[in-house]
Amino acid sequence: MTSQSQHFSEMMGQDNVRTPYVDYNAWFSRQDTARLSRKAQEAEAFFRRTGITFNVYGQADAEERLIPFDLVPRILTSAEWAKLSRGIDQRVRAVNAFLHDIYNRQEILRAGVVPIELIQNNDAFLPQMIGFTPPGDVYTHIVGTDIVCTGEGEFFVLEDNARTPSGVSYMLENRETMLQMFPELFSKIKVQPVSDYPKNLRRSLAACAPSSCEGRPTVAVLTPGIHNSAYYEHSFLADQMGVELVEGHDLRIVDGRIAMRTTQGHKVIDVIYRRIDDDFLDPLTFNPDSLLGVPGIMDVYRAGNITIANAPGTGVADDKAIYSYMPDIVEFYTGERAILKNVETYRCSEADSLKYVLDNLADLVVKEVHGSGGYGMLVGPAASKQELADFAAKLKARPSNYIAQPTLSLSTVPIFTDAGLAPRHVDLRPFALVSPEGVNITPGGLTRVALKEGSLVVNSSQGGGTKDTWVLED
């Protein structure tokens, strides 16, 4: 694998510190290392006290874990952010148009831009959504777009998280932690705020209320419960928005509306920000064994009496095989070339692509079409001969289950270690809110960092950490 010194460093240029980091570097060079080490320990203690943890499924030691926080921020200029936000806005609008189309007129399929079998054979495509348009014509109310940088101004989209993107609580808590630990930094360096995200989230959700809503919309967050890996985030967002956190057993249908149990009786809900998967949403429509959802909620939804965010069936848009068509999807619906590039993608369902992937497995990253969290993937350059052979067998057995991509030369941002600053690979997940009023993108997002030297896997479930992301003011 290429040594990290050959990767683009977002902090250090060829001969000097890059522009966005000049003021931070001047501050950092005056700091006492022992003080910074104490601050790092304080941050960990704060996260532990606050309960900012996650669960790792499928492991014997699946206890709650702390996501490591690194105190060196990732810094973007306002110009870099302007390009990113334009590209995200364009992409999010295209995703919503695509979802509306495939559940209604299916013009993109008739035009042959996207193969019909990718929709027909897709588990995330829900026939129950055909012919139905959600309130406000919004399918993906909250989108987390994973982006990587490979060079100066060179950004690529890794994937579109259009179902229930997580991580925004870490974006907010990382900033709050930095403000508490280093208030003097924020007086010297003008950073665009992220603290209004919960207010914007509530406003955006309320703007998508169904026509049956009377008065101020009532919003609630639907969680699977305390054993879910992202439960902290569910409760955090409900608290920050000032709305109720509910579980399926708290809800029932009253006069054709969804109502939640309160001490004053049942209260009608207009918008549900659901954090449970489609399959568990309604046992009468999907998985009959589900105890997490609300029996009959899909009937209420299709009758136009509740808004579900994100809409059921949005997962078809972040399928990794569909991802490979995103530049064409963007152009089909916007009439413009995609501002943000896709990573070159080989669809293993195609014979020529499969042959190429098998012949070059040691140089590629291979992912499951429906995979997430860094699971079920192969990083060819880091794999052993046995791992490559085992994965080749998987590919031959189920080629349509995989896509492959070249190993990108991901940018690095320094992390703070006992030995000083050390480069590590990062990605970025900005969060976009979509409503009939438009697209609102919080400046920055969640930077995830691969804490192991040389690793390209940034997921918290695979040992990654997080950083505060700064977008500088003009």
**Phi and psi dihedrals of 146, rounded to 5?**
-85, 125
Confidence of residue 60 (pLDDT cuts 50, 70, 90): very low
Check residue 49 and give its pLDDT: 80
Mean pLDDT of 84-88: 98
Distance CA 181, CA 245 (A): 30
Q: What is the pLDDT of residue 57?
A: 46
pLDDT at 58: 46
Q: Nearest Cα to 428, choosing from 141, 155, 232, 169?
A: 155
182 pLDDT above the threshold of 70:
yes
Residue 218 is predicted with a pLDDT of 98
Neighbouring residues of 353: CB distance < 8 A, sequence distance ≥ 6? 346, 347, 404
| pLDDT tens string 379-410 | 888 899 999 999 999 999 999 889 999 988 89
- C-alpha to C-alpha distance for 165 and 344, rounded to whole angstroms: 23
Structure tokens at 419: 């030995």
Averaged pLDDT, 155-167:
93
Give yes or no for residue 303 having a pLDDT over 80.
yes
Using one digit for the tens of pLDDT, what is the confidence trace for 419-446?
889 999 999 999 999 999 999 999 999 9
Predicted confidence at residue 379, as pLDDT, reads 87
**Average pLDDT along the chain:** 92
Pick 349 or 112 by higher pLDDT. Answer: 112
| Residue with more model confidence, 296 or 55 | 296
As a whole number of Å, the end-to-end CA separation of the chain is 38
In this structure, the number of other CB atoms found within 10 A of the CB of residue 455 comes to: 17
CATH topology of domain 344-407: Dna Ligase; domain 1 (3.30.1490)
Q: Which of 38-52, 120-134, 216-230 has the lowest mean pLDDT?
A: 38-52
Residue 3: predicted pLDDT: 41
- Mind listing the pLDDT tens digit for each residue in 229-283? 889 999 999 999 999 999 999 999 999 999 999 989 999 999 999 999 999 999 9
